[in-house]
Each structure stands twice: as C-alpha cells, then as structure tokens.
Amino acid sequence: MKEPKECTRLHSKEDFRELMFAILNPLKPYYSDNKAGLQLGVTMAHYDIRATWMEAFSRPLWALVPYWAGGGRETGEEASAEQESFAQIYRRGLCAGTDADNPEYWGQCGSFDQRFVEMAAISYGLLFAPETIWEPLSEKEKDNLCNYLNQINEHPLPVCNWILFAVLVNIALKKVGRPYSDTMLEEYLKGLETFYLGDGWYQDGDSGQKDYYISFAIHFYCLIYAKVMEQEDKARAGLYKERAMTFAKQFVYWFDEDGDAIPFGRSLTYRFSQVSFFSACLLAGLEPFPIPVMKGLIARHLRSWMGRPIFDRDGILTIGYGYPNLMMAERYNAPGSPYWSMKTFAVLMLADDHPFWSAEEAPFPNLAADCPMPYADLYVKHYGNHTTAFAPGVYSPNGHGQIVAKYGKFAYDSKFSISVAKSCYELHENAPDSMLAFVIDGYVYVRRICIACAITETGVYSKWSPYPGIVVETTVTPDENGHKRVHRIQSDRECVAYDCGFSVSRGDFEPVGFESSSGDGWAQALNEHCLCRVEGRAAQGHVIFADPNLNLLYTKTAIPAVKYQIRKGEQELETRVLAEYVG
C-alpha cells in the first residue's frame, strides 16, 4: 500500500479510495481488542480517556461511510487474513462501545460531553451505510447502540455547532425506525436559525465565532440534512442548499490557486477538512462552481497536504498543522482528533458514473481580487498564488488555546501562515507576526480586546486596547503588493511598539536560502519562495528570530518589523507591509 505522499494522482474514484486507505490503514494495529477504541498516543485532551478512545474510533467513519455508501468493498491489500476489514472492525467496535457490560464500554454521557461530538460520525454511518454497520447487528446490539445515541437528547449541549450533532442523531434514529425525539430535533433546527447572519454566513452559536466551523460543521451537517430529509422537509432542505450556494461564493476566497487555505481560527489541526465543504456540496447535488473547478480545488488541496510532514513515522496523523506541533493545539485536541479531516472524503459517496470522476481538474476560478466579508468579520484579498484575510480581531475568549493568535492578528495568509506565542516575555518567544506588539516592563502586549470594528469596501477598521491606558485605532488597507496599516494611538505612558510583518521561513527543515536585513525605517526577510518587507516613518528596522516551532507551517522563521517609540498622548503611525510569494 502506498504512503499518502505517494498518492499524488487524484482523478478517478479509485485514486481517492487509494488515498483514503493510505491514510487509514496505518490505524489498524492500534484498535483495542474489542475494536471500540483507538489508542494513538499518550497526550491528553480535557475529556476522559474513554471519550478519547471513542473519538479516535469514530472519526475515520467520516471517510469510511462514504466509501461503503459509494460501493466500496475491501479486498486485496485493504483486507487480508491477518487484518480484519474496517467494516468488521466497526461493527465489533460499535457493539462493544455501547454495551455497558463490555470492558471497552465508552461510558455514560453527561452534560456537554465529548461523546456527543463523536455520535455525529456514527449517525453518518446509520444514514448512508446502514447495510454495513446497522443491518448486520443483532436486535440487542441495535438496542444498545440506539439507547447510547439517544443520550444526546437527555443532556444539555453547548449553544454552538454541537446542536447539529443532535440533529444528525435524531434523523439517523428516525431513518432506522427507532425512537427519536421529534421535540429536540425541532428545537435544535429552530435554534440554528438564531445563528444565521447573512450572505450564507452563520456564527458558531453564542461564541460569535466565524471560522472553519461554519464550513466543515454547520454547512456540512446542514447539507447532510438536506440530502437525507429533502422529501420530508423540503423547505429547510431548499433553504440550506440556497445558503450553501451563497456561502461558497465567499468561502472560495479562503483558498489560493494552489489549493492552500488560510490558517485562521481554531481547530486547524483538522487540516484538509478545510475543503470538505465543497465535498458536501457535491454530495448534496450542488455546483456553486463547475465540477472541474471543484475537483481541481479539492485535489490540489489534498495533494498540498500530503506533501507536508503531517504523519508520524508509523503513518498516523499528528496533532499540529504543517508539521507535528502541540504548541498550537486546543485543549480538546486528543491523538485521534485530526481524523476529523476525513470529512473531505464525502466525495466517495458519489456514484461511479458521476461527472466528478471523469472531469479533468480546472484551474482556480477567475475571481475579483477583493472580497469584503462583513458577516465573517474579514476582508479577503486574492493574490493568486497566495491569499490573505485581514481581520479586525473579533473573537470570544473561550479558553480553548492560542485564541489571540488564531483570531487577533491583522492578516492571515495561505502561504506565510501565522505563529502562536510561547510566552509574553520576549519578542522571539511571543512571535507576534502581523501584530502591533507593545513592550511594557519586559512584557509583550498585542491586540486582545476589540472595542469596535468595521469591514469597509477598502479594508478593515478596528479600535482596540493592548494594555490599560492605551487605545489604538487601526485601519488596514490592502493593495496589490501587500497592505498599509495606520495606527492612531492614545497612550498614557511611554513605551516601544513593534509593527510586525509576516513570518518568513529560515530553513533547516528544508533549505530555503534565507536572508534578512534592516535599517532606518525598514526591515525585510526573504527566501527563494517569498519576501516580506516592512517600512515605517520615524522607525527603526528590526528582525525577530522567532523560537522554533511557533509558526504553523514553518519550523524556523524570522519576522521583519519596525520599532516605534510610543509617546504619551496622541500619535499616528503608518506602516507598509510588502508581501510576495513566488512558489
């Protein structure tokens, strides 16, 4: 069996199946004796160990279910005398995990339980592949499974995308002819409407966040609902499809012509799930772009990820982004969490004669360069071989981890990426790329509190405070070579501030021919792929050599910046950031 990085051809259905097995087959030695858990590592999330095992067990179903539903059957290398097929593994595991007398029982659920998240993938299986994971079970095993899933109706859920897990569970129970809660189903579907903003955008419940959870969670699940419930609930099915079509016209801006996506927001360790929305569109029969364009986007995105060191030496997906990296993880990232990325394989459910499989990849669509997204709190500019999202720093301090870095920077770029902070004591440990960083009494302070903001036709405005007594009004205006920042500062103290550009890889992990330099009013860092230059009036150039493993894509980076003296009272700073990527 090929390794994922060797599966570079993605044209036929068999090509996509081969890549799926290249990613999932390395898991087989790590299933527990009764198959209800996967033990992939020793790092922990905030939830208990049984939920961790259930999570790792459930998430491969996001690919296996479409494989089975699309006619896939394991033969040859996929299933041998020495190894059970995935179908056998999952039948055994579902029975063991939901049997209270089995030593691998997943445990009783409580309020806001992680197990509810993993029920979505199991429900996906009941909806689309019942002949594989439902019909072969005994009546007792079916009872155990349904009783287990029904616990989601007995406990409160966070007011966010989680309510759609309950929607999937209830329609799955309904479709297999078992008791379900019509009351909870309707309550959660009505609750979803309170999330809707406009232009196809939702917010992720009471957190107010607008990130990949809108694409790979809310829209993804809504399109499943539309596919399954189209005859019984035509109004909602039509509405969800209409919103997805509208959303697609803006969401496509989060990608560049190479298929790379903007690293913005939380759960970035789910990696190639970034493009799964377009797979869900195809599943639901939607074509927001011509099929060859969608195929090109999906295939290039997958190939880009397969070219990165995201697997360990045993072929297991790691926690991280462009490489294994716990520094950027959330508290809910357990060893099995990254397999949420398998959602992109929803395309495997398409019929063998679907035009997707015969289509040739088309280039990225011809888009206008700029796309203000007021409902997403972003202004995105498409440069072709890289794309940048400019943000006002709107986020909810929910404690998941590295929230300031994932939402609070001025710019997020598909090629330059972002860095997360190791500490707030030193610039090289804070790695404040695309931030105005104030240094006060030896501490580094960046944009953490957004007081007011606006997305305009030309850029982004934000009023914010890094520290008591300092208020900054920042206007970011993108142009064809980068962007300009104007900061109007009211300060009750003297200090220094560094206006920082993008991080630039300085090699070691892969040679890049790195150079850096600085002078009065400017600093730059460049390698054979990219250049970032920062210029400011009445400033001193400075290059920050960030600690290793803080950038999401590159293991070692430098950040060009200009250093300003901040006076008491009012002053205005103007910084120019030039960013070029040549591939």
Tell me if 221 sits within 8 A of 283, measured CB to CB: no
DSSP H or E run through 487: strand 482-491
Asked if residue 76 has pLDDT above 60, the reply is no
Lowest mean pLDDT among 283-287, 395-399, 517-521: 395-399
* Residue 526 structure tokens: 């460049």
Amino acid making up residue 421: A
Domain boundary among 298, 324, 356: 356
Q: What is the DSSP string of 337-360?
A: GGGGGGGGGGGGGS-TT-HHHHPP
Closest CA to 241 of 294, 284, 291: 284
CATH code of residue 259: 1.50.10
Does 390 lie in the same domain as 325?
no
Q: What is the pLDDT of residues 266-278, one digit of tens each?
A: 999 999 999 999 9
Q: What is the pLDDT of residues 459-506, one digit of tens each?
A: 999 999 999 999 999 999 999 999 999 999 999 999 999 999 999 999
Does 226 lie in the same domain as 131?
yes
Tell me if 87 sits within 8 A of 113, measured CB to CB: no
Give the C-alpha separation, 279 to 284, whole Å.
9
Average confidence (pLDDT) over 317-342:
97
Residue 421 counted as domain residue: yes
Asked if residue 545 has pLDDT above 80, the reply is yes
Instruction: Please classify residue 570 by burial: count the beta carbons closer than 10 Å to its beta carbon, then call 0-12 exposed, 13-18 middle and 19+ buried.
Output: exposed
Degrees (nearest 5) of the Cα angle 366, 369, 372?
Answer: 120
Residue 77's pLDDT band, with cuts at 50, 70 and 90, is low
Residue 532 counted as domain residue: yes
Average confidence (pLDDT) over 33-62:
96
pLDDT score at 400: 79
Average confidence (pLDDT) over 201-209:
93
For the chain, what is the radius of gyration of the CA atoms? 24
Domain boundary among 356, 387, 409: 356
Q: What is the pLDDT of residues 174-192, one digit of tens each?
A: 999 999 999 999 999 999 9
Which residues are within 8 A (CB) of 505 and not within 5 positions of it... i.e. 6 or more apart?
Answer: 512, 514, 527, 529, 530, 551, 553, 554, 556, 557
- What is the DSSP-derived secondary structure letter of residue 288? S
Residue 508's pLDDT band, with cuts at 50, 70 and 90, is confident
- What is the DSSP-derived secondary structure letter of residue 25? G
Closest CA to 90 of 51, 117, 63: 63
Give the C-alpha separation, 61 to 59, whole Å.
5
pLDDT score at 386: 95
Tell me if 289 sits within 8 A of 252, measured CB to CB: yes
pLDDT score at 511: 73
Average confidence (pLDDT) over 527-550:
96
Does 419 lie in the same domain as 305?
no
Average confidence (pLDDT) over 312-319:
97
Give the C-alpha separation, 453 to 462, whole Å.
4
Asked if residue 366 has pLDDT above 80, the reply is yes
Asked if residue 78 has pLDDT above 60, the reply is no
CATH code of residue 493: 2.70.98.70
Does 414 lie in the same domain as 319?
no
* Residue 320 structure tokens: 């991280």
Residue numbers of the domain that contains 380: 370-581
Pure H helices in 150-181: 163-175
pLDDT score at 1: 60
Q: What is the pLDDT of residues 434-450, one digit of tens each?
A: 999 999 999 999 998 78
Does 434 lie in the same domain as 324?
no
* Residue 417 structure tokens: 């990426």
Instruction: Please classify residue 203 by burial: count the beta carbons closer than 10 Å to its beta carbon, then call 0-12 exposed, 13-18 middle and 19+ buried.
Output: buried
Average confidence (pLDDT) over 390-408:
87
- Three-class SS of residue 257? coil
Does 380 lie in the same domain as 318?
no
Does 441 lie in the same domain as 342?
no
Residue 153 counted as domain residue: yes
Does 483 lie in the same domain as 577?
yes
- Prediction pTM value: 0.96
Residue 484 counted as domain residue: yes
pLDDT score at 81: 46
Residue 364 counted as domain residue: no
Sign of the torsion angle spanned by Cα atoms 98, 104, 108, 111 = negative
Average confidence (pLDDT) over 237-264:
98
Residue 243 counted as domain residue: yes
Does 300 lie in the same domain as 406?
no
Instruction: Please classify residue 535 by burial: count the beta carbons closer than 10 Å to its beta carbon, then call 0-12 exposed, 13-18 middle and 19+ buried.
Output: buried
Give the C-alpha separation, 241 to 351, whole Å.
20
% of the chain surpassing 70 pLDDT: 98
Q: How many domains does the chain have?
A: 2
Sign of the torsion angle spanned by Cα atoms 262, 268, 273, 276 = negative
Asked if residue 309 has pLDDT above 90, the reply is yes
pLDDT score at 384: 85
Q: Who has greater pLDDT, 395 or 522?
A: 522
Tell me if 407 sits within 8 A of 265, measured CB to CB: yes
Residue 362 counted as domain residue: no
Asked if residue 289 has pLDDT above 80, the reply is yes
Does 438 lie in the same domain as 346?
no
Residue 365 counted as domain residue: no
**CA 177 distance to own-chain centroid:** 34
Does 426 lie in the same domain as 290?
no
Average pLDDT, the chain: 95
Does 449 lie in the same domain as 320?
no
Lowest mean pLDDT among 333-342, 440-449, 545-554: 440-449
Domain boundary among 356, 390, 419: 356
Q: What is the pLDDT of residues 559-578, one digit of tens each?
A: 999 999 999 999 999 999 99
- Only one residue has tokens 């501030």, namely 497
pLDDT score at 82: 55
Asked if residue 398 has pLDDT above 80, the reply is no
Give the C-alpha separation, 63 to 348, whole Å.
8
